[in-house]
């Protein structure tokens, strides 16, 4: 299911490049917007019982999944993140947001999903990444190491290039994995 989820997110990005371009140029996170776009897309593609901010019934520390749905008779809880990088790029506002904290949030979400009765999925979009820059792969390895899950750029990630206007381009790295 993580590959299907990645395909859904990639299609949402492609269909909404103007919205994404604005977010990328400002390094503005867009998780809230993506949550509702993904819920809509999932429902249009056969998911049932689609809900956002779904309470979990697990233990005393009730947690909320960003999105939950049923697909092909399996229930899924999804955690979304849109971690922004702090790498300097043409066409993108400079920022000093620490990418290491953003990556820690992805790890925390993965660990939060582990005790769930439903199948847990983590989806994140790392942005902006300069075309042909591969330093993002180090963060995928860190997530894999810290969650003790096999997560690789080849099996769990897709790069999407978008125009920022003029000659400037940026890439978004969409990664999904099962917990």
Q: pLDDT per residue over 113-131, tens digit each?
A: 887 778 999 999 999 999 9
Mapped onto helix, strand or coil, the DSSP state of residue 105 is: helix
Question: Confidence class of residue 99 from pLDDT cuts 50, 70 and 90?
Answer: confident
DSSP for 49-72, written as a single string: EEEEEEEP--SSS--EEEEEEEET
81 with 31: CB under 8 angstroms?
yes
Domain ranges for the chain? 2-178
Radius of gyration of the chain, Cα coordinates, nearest whole angstrom:
16
The pLDDT of residue 100: 82
Q: Which one is predicted more confidently, 90 or 59?
A: 90
What percentage of the chain has pLDDT greater than the value 70? Answer: 96
Residue 60 has pLDDT above 60, yes or no: no
Average pLDDT over residues 49-76: 82
The backbone region for 166, taken as left when phi is positive above 0, alpha when psi lies in -120 to 50, beta otherwise, is left
């Amino acid at each position: 299911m993580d590959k299907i989820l990645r395909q859904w997110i990639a299609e949402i990005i492609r269909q909404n490049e103007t919205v994404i371009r604005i977010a990328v140029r400002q390094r503005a996170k867009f998780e809230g917007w993506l949550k509702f776009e993904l819920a809509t897309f999932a429902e249009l593609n056969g998911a049932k019982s689609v809900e956002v901010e779904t309470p979990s019934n697990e233990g005393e520390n009730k947690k909320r999944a960003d999105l939950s749905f049923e697909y092909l008779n399996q229930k899924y809880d999804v955690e979304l993140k849109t971690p922004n990088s702090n790498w300097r790029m043409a066409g993108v506002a400079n920022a000093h947001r620490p990418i290491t904290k953003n990556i820690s949030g992805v790890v925390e979400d993965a660990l939060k999903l582990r005790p769930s009765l439903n199948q847990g999925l983590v989806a994140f979009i790392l942005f902006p990444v300069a075309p042909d820059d591969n330093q993002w792969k180090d963060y995928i390895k860190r997530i894999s190491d810290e969650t003790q899950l096999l997560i690789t750029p080849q099996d769990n990630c897709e790069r999407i290039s978008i125009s920022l206007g003029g000659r400037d381009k940026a890439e978004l790295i969409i990664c999904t994995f099962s917990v």
